Structures are given as C-alpha cells and as structure tokens.
Amino acid sequence: MASGTGNRRDLTQGPITRTLLLFAVPTLLSNVLQSLNGSINAVWVGRFLGESALAATSNANLVMFLMFALGFGFGMAATILVGQRMGAGDVEGARRAMGTAIGLFALVSLAVAAIGWIVAPGLLRALSTPPGAEVMALAYLRVIFLAMPAMFLGVLLAMGMRGTGDSITPLWLMMLNVSLDAGLNPVLIRGLGPVPAMGIAGSAMATLIANYVVLLAAIVVIYARDLPIRLRGRELGFLVPDRALLRTIFAKGLPMGLQMLVFSFSGLVMIGLVNRAGIHVTAAYGVAQQLWTYVQMPAMAIGAAVSAMAAQNIGAGRWDRIGRITRAGVITNVAMTGALVALLLLFDRPLLALFVGADSPAVPIARHIQLIGSWSFILFGVTLVLFSTVRANGAVVAPLLILCASVFVGRLAFAWALLGRFGTDVLWWSFPLGSAISLVLAVLYYQRGTWRTLHLGGDRANMREQANATAEPGGRLNPSG
C-alpha cells in the first residue's frame, strides 16, 4: 500500500451491501454519539436550569445549524472531490482538494465566529425567542460562536476521512468529543470543586473545550497514522486555496449549501411559529427534535456511505455498480429507519421524560408531535439516498429545486395558510407532507433526469495524468458533487 493510504477502504470492490454496511455502521455510531451528546447536554440543561433554559438552547442551536449550513455545501463538494480522486488512484489530487478546503474553512470559520458574536442578539430577536429564554440563549450562543472554528474544521476533517473510505477514525474522535462534552457539562453548569458555576454558558463552554481538544487530536491522529489527507513538506502549500479547485468547490458546493440554508430558513420560520404557542410548546418541540435526530441517523449514515461509494466508483469508472449501490442504500434505510420509528413511538413517554420530567406539561404535547411527524423520516431517508447518488456525479441544482418545492410549498405555505384555522397540528403535519413531495420528485429525477450524463472532468486515466500535472492549476480536474 502506498504511503499515505493509511485507513483507506476501497469502496469500488466487494459485495455492495456488505461494503455499504461496513462503511455506514461506524458513521451511524458517530452520528448516534453526536446526537447522544446533544441529548445528554439537553438533559443537564433541562434538569439543572429548567424549561426556559431548554427553550433557549433550542433557539440557539437552530442559529448554530444556520451557520453550519454556510459551510456544509463546500465541505460536501470537497469531500466528493476527495472520493472521486481516491477512486481514480489520485492521492495527491485528494490532498490538493482537502488542502484547499481546509484553507477556505479556516478563514470562513474565523469570520463566522467574529460576526456571530456581534449579530447574535439580532438573530435571536428575529427568531421571536421567548422573553424568558432570550438572555440565556444569548449567553449560550455567543460561546458557541467561539467554538465554531474548531467545529467547522473538525467536521471537515471527518468528512475528508470518509471521502477516502475511512469511517473508523471519525468514530473514535466522536467518542472523545462526547466523553469530554457530556462529562464537562454538569461540572461547568453547576460548578463542582474549584470550578465556578457558569449556568447555561457552562454548557456551551463544555462544547467549546471538547471541540478544540478533538480538533487537536484529529490532527495528531492524521499524522501519526499517515492518513491519506495528511499534508507534509511541499504539500503544505496546498493549504493556500487553489483557484481551480475553489471554482469547483463553489460551483458545486453553493447549491448544496443553499439546500442547507433552505432547511435552516424553514427551521427558523417553524421555530418562530412554535414560539408563538408558548414556552411549553417550544420546549415540547425542542424535545421532539432531540429524539428526531436519532431517527434521522441511519439515513444520514447510509447517505454518507452511498455518497462515498458512488464518488469512488464514478472516479474509477465503475458505473455498473451505481444503481446497485443506490438500491442497497434505499432498502437498508427503510429497514433501519422504520425500526427506529417503531421503537420511538412505543417508548416515547419515558424517553421524553428524560428531558423535562414525567410530570411536565410539555410531555403530552411532545408525544402528539412525535405521533404525527416521526414516520415522515422514512420518506426523508429514501430521498437522502437518491440525492447522495446524484450529487456524487455533480448533480446539485435539481436536488436544490426539489428541496425548495417541498419546503416552501409542502411545509411553509401549508403551515401559513392553515395555521390560523386548524391550530398547531398544521405545523406537525407539514413534516410528512414536505417529505412526501420531495420523495416523489427525487424518484422522478433519479429515474428520468440527466444526472448520469454530467461531465465529471475526464475518465480515470485522465485523472491519474492530472495527478502528475502539479505545475499548472488550470489543468487540474474540476468535477464534484
């Protein structure tokens, strides 16, 4: 094995379903741990500081998701570039793509942290954050903005590892993150021993410390294990963003980032509508979202696996495997997500009570939300698998348009038009309606769209030739997802 290919898994060989699961399961465990971390922290906040604090973190976390949406698309584009080049045997090309992405993310994340600190009060006011939660939400959100550089770069490094076929190392790093964040939360919230009590800001500070420690650990691991995305010697020059790669990352990443912004905008509008119903409904919705993160985890992991497998197989010219990868992803997602939805509906009361206590008036509201909205994530998962496949070949505009139709028509227009007449149930029913619209349109595009014919910048031989053409940036590959 060539130097620098460390933990790489070749996703172009072997039985498809088995390869998919071997890649997806560590990613799923990483996602579960990440969600578990958020849930544990919500338990600490809800139990120690009350429902107002829990509502504050729900509002602040939505703003944080909005910030991540700004960089998500560019990270996805870079990841698919890495995957395609690894599939083509172009390790240096993968490092060029990763170096450009790291340089870009470092600058963007620092800007987001600085601007976010300044505009945080205005963002919370725009959300109609309940008055009882606004002060705590601001204290929490400002510390979270300071953690943004480590979060951005840590997520990018994990995505880059998965693009090379390594889903194990990100799992170990997530274990470290969860251990630190969840363990430090009660210490910093309540103040144990010599540590002063910081209240809700302590929860955010635990997240900050955990993410900076994990980022440092990730860098150490990448070099100690000689993973494919490591940069040494002259390769460190790849951290200066390459113009050709930046054009590709922006051209393909912008539509994917806009998709996340559409989700964020929908979430902002939704939380604004929910906030008007009172603090108990806001807390119930926040708790329901905590459980929904688990329901989404299989789809997210399988989507990441499908994307990585499709990108490597496209880079290797193995189009004969693309349809089978997609079918395996859809079947696996329906089975896993369906099982989780069933378990959630069977055991929702004790799970919800973990966050706000069994006697909280938010519990029956949250149970009702779960009953209406949870099954929509089965549809969401199938759509995500289809999107993951077409994005791996550079098709990013159609998924954006489909998402806009499902969000603006199926969710927001539906909610705005009928909320006054039918009450808050309209908000919960907008989830399955939007998911159904996106699934129908995604299936039609996958079956009849032109995504298979998109130009990816050359065949495998051309990619390998470009791996040696290091002197002329304009001559390098410009594909992506």
- Please, are residues 322 and 11 in contact by the beta-carbon 8 Å criterion? no
Q: Alpha-carbon distance 283 to 291, whole Å? A: 13
Write the single-letter amino acid at 328: A
Domain assignment of residue 471, yes or no: no
Q: Alpha-carbon distance 334 to 378, whole Å? A: 6
**338: confidence class by pLDDT, cuts 50, 70, 90:** very high
Domain assignment of residue 168, yes or no: yes
What range defines the domain where residue 235 resides? Answer: 16-452
- Burial (CB < 10 A; 0-12, 13-18, 19+), residue 359, is exposed
Q: Alpha-carbon distance 352 to 201, whole Å? A: 24
Spatial CB neighbours of 271, under 8 Å, sequence gap ≥ 6: 58, 59, 62, 127, 282, 285
Write the single-letter amino acid at 332: T
**456: confidence class by pLDDT, cuts 50, 70, 90:** very low
**280: confidence class by pLDDT, cuts 50, 70, 90:** confident
**Which of these ranges, 29-33, 420-424, 474-478, has the smallest mean pLDDT?**
474-478
Average pLDDT, the chain: 79
Q: What is the pLDDT of residues 157-206, one digit of tens each?
A: 888 887 677 778 888 999 999 899 888 888 888 877 777 778 878 888 99
Residue matched to tokens 């998701």: 65
Q: Alpha-carbon distance 53 to 133, whole Å? A: 6
In this structure, the number of other CB atoms found within 10 A of the CB of residue 239 comes to 16
- Burial (CB < 10 A; 0-12, 13-18, 19+), residue 367, is middle
Domain assignment of residue 78, yes or no: yes
Q: What is the pLDDT of residues 66-113, one digit of tens each?
A: 666 667 777 777 777 877 787 777 888 888 888 888 888 888 888 888
Q: Alpha-carbon distance 271 to 278, whole Å? A: 11
Q: Which among 146, 86, 56, 158 has a CA at the least distance from the CA of 467?
A: 86
Domain assignment of residue 316, yes or no: yes
Q: Alpha-carbon distance 295 to 288, whole Å? A: 11
Spatial CB neighbours of 260, under 8 Å, sequence gap ≥ 6: 68, 69, 70, 72, 73
- Please, are residues 389 and 325 in contact by the beta-carbon 8 Å criterion? yes
Q: What is the pLDDT of residue 329?
A: 93
CA dihedral 351, 282, 257, 409 (to 10 degrees): 110
Q: Alpha-carbon distance 366 to 373, whole Å? A: 10
Structure tokens at 336: 């896993």
Domain assignment of residue 159, yes or no: yes
Mean pLDDT of the region 359-388: 87
CA–centroid distance for 386 within its chain: 17
Q: What is the pLDDT of residue 87?
A: 72
Spatial CB neighbours of 135, under 8 Å, sequence gap ≥ 6: none
**Number of domains composing the chain:** 1
Q: What is the pLDDT of residue 25?
A: 87
Mean pLDDT of the region 121-142: 75
Domain assignment of residue 467, yes or no: no
- Please, are residues 433 and 411 in contact by the beta-carbon 8 Å criterion? yes
Domain assignment of residue 345, yes or no: yes
- Please, are residues 227 and 166 in contact by the beta-carbon 8 Å criterion? yes
Q: Which among 390, 133, 161, 393 has a CA at the least distance from the CA of 283?
A: 133
**Which contiguous run of DSSP H or E holds residue 209?**
helix 200-224
Task: Please give the biggest Cα pair distance in the chain.
Answer: 67
Domain assignment of residue 473, yes or no: no
**Which of these ranges, 65-69, 202-206, 323-327, 372-376, has the smallest mean pLDDT?**
65-69
Strand ranges (DSSP E) for 251-355?
A: none
Taking 70 as the threshold, does the pLDDT of residue 477 lie above it? Answer: no
The predicted model scores a pTM of: 0.68
pLDDT, greater one: 178 or 36: 178
